[in-house]
A and B are shown apart, each in its own frame.
Chain A
Amino acid sequence: MAVELSPKMQAFTQEVFPAIIGTNRKNGSVEIVPVWFEQKDGSFWINGGTNRGWFKHLQRDPRITLLLIDPKEMFRWAQVEGRMVNWAEDAGGDHINHLSHRYLKKDYQGPRTGRITIQIEPLRVTGAIDGRR
């Protein structure tokens, strides 16, 4: 069942830094990569190409863990365990452009085709922001 983010987490997730996402490879090992994200309406939204390894992993196993960490203060961090509840084609690249403005304050410079938007529902939040290890 999805959990509601605390006010502290709501504020923390508005800060601008990449999320580190962990997904399960078929061979049982973990893939971790940094990605742009946005938290909106209690869900986490990320964007990628359909050829990305992590998206293939999520289609097989929708469980995903996000590590959010303040790059200037490593003790400010949160771990969000969640699952992909939805994905959709990012037609025209509107969502990646939106993320580009959040992170770089300018239009997205890369290709806007073949992209998808993924919605992640949080199931469990731990870490220093909510004071739970």
Chain B
Amino acid sequence: MAEGKTASAPLRPAVQKLAALPIPITVATKRADGFVQLNPVWFELKDGFIWLNSNTSRTWPKNLQRDQDVTLLLVDPKVPDRYAQIRGRLVSLIPDPKHEFIDHLAERYTGKPFRDLEPDEHRVTLKIQPVRVTGAMI
């Protein structure tokens, strides 16, 4: 995770506007056998980075830690022909032991803090640097 080695791709106003909506982002990673894995995930765009959070036992963050490479997709819920595909890199993996960031995301999506964590559930925040943006709203 070498922060700052690659230039970030700028996100245009239309993409920023879409990212401000409480819609899930699709996270595409690759399983060890090469099959594409797709998951809808809560996110936040802030300071030019895309911030995700996960339970550490899930497969997609493990895939992401292995490859560091991710593709993300935002689709306009009203006009599915408008979408932005964002290639990105994992630049930081930040433990979220007090589940502050997942609470913050839950507030963004549900207006409430996140549910109580399960026993042995550990949360982690993933900071993604956008590297390239393509799609039908670019």
Contacts and interface: CB of A to CB of B under 8 A. Distances in A.
B75 A34 contact: yes
A109 to B, nearest CB: 12
Contacts of B72: 32
Nearest to A79: B38
A88 interface: no
Interface stretch (A3-11, A20-28, A43-51, A93-101): A20-28
A26 to B, nearest CB: 13
B40 A63 contact: no
The size bracket of the interface on B is 20 to 34
Given A20-B26, A29-B87, A69-B24, A74 B40 contact: yes
Contact of A34 (B29, B30, B37, B83): B83
A65 B81 CA distance: 19
A89 interface: no
Interface of B: 23-24, 26, 28-30, 34-40, 58, 69, 71-73, 75, 77, 80-81, 83, 85, 87, 135
Nearest to B37: A65
Nearest to A25: B71
What interface size band does chain A fall in?
20 to 34
Given A34-B73, A79-B39, A17 B80 contact: yes
Nearest to B135: A33
Nearest to A20: B26
Interface string A120-133: 00000000000001
Nearest to B71: A30
Secondary structure of the B contact surface, majority rule: strand
Contacts of A61: 34
B77 A71 contact: yes
Q: Which has the most chain B C-beta neighbours within 10 Å: A61, A74, A133?
A: A74
B68 to A, nearest CB: 11
A116 interface: no
Contact of A30 (B29, B39, B135): B29
A102 to B, nearest CB: 13
B75 A30 contact: no
A15 to B, nearest CB: 13
Contacts of A18: 75, 80
B130 to A, nearest CB: 14
Contact of A31 (B37, B71, B75): B71
Contacts of B87: 29
